[in-house]
Every structure is written in structure tokens, then in C-alpha cells.
Amino acid sequence: MKRPTLEAVAARAGVSKSTVSRVVNGDTTVTPNFRELVLRAVNELGYVPNSVARSLVTQRTNSIALVVSDPPAGLFSDDPMFSAVVRSASRALEAASKQVVLMLAGSDESRVRVQEYVAAGHVDGVMLVSFYGADPLPAALMRMGLPMASFGKPVSAPSVPYVDNDNLGGARQAVEHLLSRGRRRIATISGPLDMIASQDRLTGYRETLRDTGRRSIIAVGDFTRVSGDQAMCQLLEDDPGLDAVFAANDLMAIGALHALRRAGRRVPDDVAVVGFDDIEAALYTDPPLTTVRSPMADQALAVVSLLLGLFEDGRADPVILPTELVIRESS
């Protein structure tokens, strides 16, 4: 029942442990004869190296933590983007033959758990996504001195190398598109104002309108569907004459569509709607949603590259990925 050890293999093959270790690790300096003997014993015994023992001596674990830090309400972990991050990051890391250890930090206790886990040497590096403005975790993790890269710039640790999409440019594209469609009174539903991504998208919206001498009409949501619904109601109350809305993510755009439907406004005839992210659901709204896309898979690849770069040079520079406007029927 017990797993065979290196020693058992050595005994069976009639060689030393050193030799077995060399063969198992692909060392080329082993005589074919010996290698043959060892491989046979490995097969017969079904030997698999104990990676804990190996890690103890090599000081590497081959694992990377993917830390998702969320406010207690769990905003992000309910977002389809969450699956996208997890999936893309896993695939990219797998390609680099690293293992992903997912850690959800949704409370103060779990944040402590994450710190201890990282401090205990379980992982070689960390990939971070923090959806929580005041989150102290990025800074705390930073202090441990491990290689670390982030999806988006973390508020509490702006010096962490990060990958982000061009939030400002993306918002610009969205608003310029609405302007080009002849919309006059363009509102926005912003994300939480303590997040840098929200700030940037809001800035892009504001600046674009200001450039054309138009005024901003703003409501603030928290990136959930329900907050988009509420924000839209608020906007309709503030300015019943609005003819377009840019939601800072697709989930809020979906909520906004819902509110508009209840209010009896037709989309896009009365009000045009544009989102951000291009989640799958954007294809299935009624009408299908115009949105700003920045593929998560690209971001994951970039974050993994940053991390690998950190392992080698110790240096890594932020990466900003371009966005693309996807025009559908809601605008």
C-alpha cells in the first residue's frame, strides 16, 4: 500500500540511490545499461518521486498561487470574468509546467490564511487579482519578497508588475462610438470608485465627453447585475432624456437592460447601451450587447510571462493590452 521510494528502486535495480535519482531527473551522464536497469525497476514498482521530499531539497515547489482577493460580498467571484481568469491562468501556467494553487481571499481571516500559506513556502510565486480597493493583501504579499504579478494594478501595491487592458482607451472607444451614432446625452454606470480599473474607465468616459463639450451623467455601481439595474433607474430619474449609457462592465449593462425594459425604453431606439468585457452572455442579451473586449487569455499569458521573467531577471514591466470594440445591436 505504501508508495515505493527511491531506495526501493535502487535496491531492485542493484544500483545506488544517486544513480536512480539521476535517471529519474533525466541526467545524461548515466550509462545506457544502468539507465535501462533503473527504468525497468521504476516501471515494475510503479515509482513516482515524492515531490514533497524533492521540494525540501531543491527549495522549489513548482506551484504558483492564484490569489483572488474579493470584498466580503464576493463581487468578483460571481463574475463570469472570474472563470475566465482562473481558466486562462491555469492553462498558461500549465504550458509552463507549473501547478496552480487557487486561493480565494474573501474575508480578513482568509487573507491571513493566504499570507501564511505563502510564507510557509508552499509556492514559488503568486499571481494576484484583487477586486477590492482597500485591500491590504497585495502589499502584505509584496513584503514576502516572492515573485508576484497582478491582473490589474493593485491599489495597495502599485509597484507590483501588472497586466491590464487599456481601460482608458476602451472607455474612449465606447463613448466615441456612441457619439458617432449621434447620441447626445450619454450617461455612464461606473464600477466601484476605489478600484483603479473603474477610475480609468470613468476617466475615459469623462474626457471623451469633455472634449466634445458634453457633460457627464454618472451613477456608481459595483460591477454586479443588480447594481447596474439600480444605477440605471437612478440615471433615468436624474436625466429622463438620456439616449445612451456606457456601463463599465457587461454584468452592469445586463442589469441596465433589465431596468430599461421595465421602464419601457427600447434599446437601441430610445437608449443605446454599451458594456465592457465581452463576456459570453453579451451575445445572448436582447438585443445583443455592444461591448469592449480585451481577451482574458492574452492577459493570463502576459501575467505568466511577467512571472517567468521575474524568476529569471528579477525585472518586469507593466503591460497594457489594447481593447477592441465589438459592435452588436444594442447601440
Q: Which residues lie near its own copies (CB under 8 A)? A: 1, 3, 48-53, 55-56, 61, 63, 66, 74, 77-80, 82-83, 86-87, 90-91, 94, 99-104, 106, 110, 113, 116-117, 119-122, 145, 225, 254-255, 257-258, 261, 280-281, 283-284, 286
Pairwise CA distance, residues 71 & 133, whole Å: 9
Least Å distance, CB 296 to its own copies, is 12
Grid coordinates representing 263?
Answer: 421602464
* Interface with DNA, residue 144, by CB under 7 A: no
Tell which one of 7, 108, 194, 286 touches DNA (CB under 7 A): 7
Cα Rg of the chain (Å, integer): 26
Question: Of the ranges 57-65, 146-154, 182-190, 238-246, which one interacts with DNA (CB under 7 A)?
Answer: 57-65
Tell which one of 43, 53, 87, 239 touches DNA (CB under 7 A): 53
Grid coordinates representing 37?
Answer: 536497469
CB contact at 8 A, 159 and 312:
no
* Interface with DNA, residue 39, by CB under 7 A: no
Residue 59 region by backbone torsions, left for phi larger than 0, else alpha for psi between -120 and 50, else beta: left
Question: Of the ranges 24-32, 64-72, 128-136, 247-255, which one interacts with DNA (CB under 7 A)?
Answer: 24-32
Characterize the bridge pairing of strands 272-277 and 290-293. Answer: parallel
104 binds, among its own copies, DNA, none (CB under 5 to 8 A by kind): its own copies
For CA atoms 276, 254, 280, 196, give the dihedral sign: positive
29 binds, among DNA, its own copies, none (CB under 5 to 8 A by kind): DNA
CB contact at 8 A, 208 and 153:
no
Least Å distance, CB 53 to its own copies, is 5
CB contact at 8 A, 172 and 207:
yes
94 binds, among DNA, its own copies, none (CB under 5 to 8 A by kind): its own copies
The identity of residue 227, as a single letter, is: S
The identity of residue 322, as a single letter, is: P
Reply yes or no: is the peptide bond before residue 287 cis, omega within 30 of 0. Answer: yes
Q: Which is nearer to its own copies, 63 or 234 (CB)?
A: 63
The one-character DSSP state at 313 is: T
* Interface with DNA, residue 180, by CB under 7 A: no
**Residues lying near DNA in the complex (CB under 7 A):** 2-3, 5-7, 15-19, 21-22, 24-25, 29-31, 33-34, 47, 49-50, 53-54, 56-59
